[in-house]
A = this chain, B = another copy of it.
Amino acid sequence: MVQVAIMGYGVVGSGVAEIITTHKKKLFASLGEEVYIKKILDLREFPDSPLSDRFTKNFNDILNDAEIRVVAEVMGGINPAYDYTTKLLKAGKSVVTSNKELVASKGAQLIEIAKNNNANFLFEASVGGGIPILRPLIQCLVANNVKEIAGILNGTTNFILSKMINEGMDFDSALKLAQDLGFAERNPEADVEGHDACRKICILASLAYGKHIYPDNIHTEGITKISLKDVKYASDYKSVIKLIGDVKLLDNGKIDIFVSPMLIGKKSQLANINDEFNGIMVRGDCTDDVLFYGKGAGSLPTASAVVADIMDSCMHIKERKHLYWADSNNESVLPYNESRTRMYLRVNTPNALDKINKIFGKVYVIASDEELAVATDLMKISQIESNLEKLESEGVKVLSKIRISDL
């Protein structure tokens, strides 16, 4: 029997307990031992839970229990999750987590602590919920140099954009619907401003390139400014607008990483990922494009990834899984100004084409009606920005600009 504990009995934690209880036989068959939930840490009371006798409000009941070998941290947030996880790893217990905030901001430290204490720190559930992505990336794709990872990493924003694209809803109505259906929080900022996606692309980048990429100064642009006009013009350009977390390793060794809405060609696999689903494309030098698709959130999908990590930890009680990245200060991250892209521009007057051509060079005209929408050639963000300043100084109002993907 392997004894485990769960910290946090919210959406994910209760799912973890449910799966371990209802899938007992399946887990036993794989592990050859029973997985037994010995303690659950939560400040709330759950008198009606069938596991009510396992609850504790005292973290030390888990830390000091030598029989507990693996702990699922599914509380969320940095504090006290970081403190607890550190103490557990130092006590030689393995910790698995769905907490992307924790991994994105403290991953390098926790991996190092795990290594020094011969314990495992696993976090498959922190990216893509129930979609297998981290383990395939480090194990199955180990023989590839990863050229690029591009993902629809946030279900809330993908749901909103899908409603705008497929049903012509405006942003506010789509957000309200997402909130009513439970896909979006009452305070949706972390989702709609791209911060959630940023944490996830940073975790993927750290794994793929072996050094911690911190989210703090990564260019992160959300979807609040996307209008139905943009959605329509994108469609005229045979594209859809998706919120993409993207990371590429450039030839000069720099890491080009950002979160931004992008125009994605309708034939791209990423364009067909709709509603609350996530999709992550990994471009390997041997495999070419490989794509992983599924539900990126939700109680049971996310919990099933946490339980998979628990199982993996149970199978590797005495040895460490190979999962490592070094700490860094983001010194290899390309300044966003130097990132190169084609850009979709929408301006307030169809008469601006001559001015645009003069400043940007030749552009592709997507639409010209009461407004003008164009696609520029590939150029640095700094160049685009200075061109836009010139354009504005000549009286043209730029209503929106969105990166164009070549995926």
Contacts and interface: CB of A to CB of B under 8 A. Distances in A.
Contact of A295 (B31, B136, B288): B288
Interface string A126-147: 0000111001101111111100
Contacts of A288: 130, 294-295, 301
A254 interface: no
B140 A290 contact: no
Contacts of A295: 287-290
Contacts of A30: 138, 142, 322
Given A272-B272, A290-B293, A290-B294, A145 B304 contact: no
B141 A308 contact: yes
Interface string A263-297: 00000010010000000000010111111111100
B131 A290 contact: yes
A29 B144 CA distance: 12
A315 B322 contact: yes
B287 A139 contact: no
A132 B143 contact: no
A285 to B, nearest CB: 8
A307 interface: yes
A367 interface: no
A135 B292 CA distance: 14
Contact of A293 (B143, B291, B312): B291
Given A29-B210, A132-B290, A293-B293, A143 B301 contact: no
B300 A289 contact: no
A49 to B, nearest CB: 19
A234 interface: no
Interface stretch (A19-27, A334-342, A375-383): A19-27
A181 to B, nearest CB: 16
B143 A124 contact: no
A243 interface: no
A304 B284 contact: yes
A27 B312 CA distance: 22
Contacts of A141: 132, 304, 308
A311 interface: yes
A357 B360 CA distance: 65
A279 to B, nearest CB: 8
Given A288-B295, A300-B287, A140 B144 contact: no
A29 B322 CA distance: 11
B140 A135 contact: yes
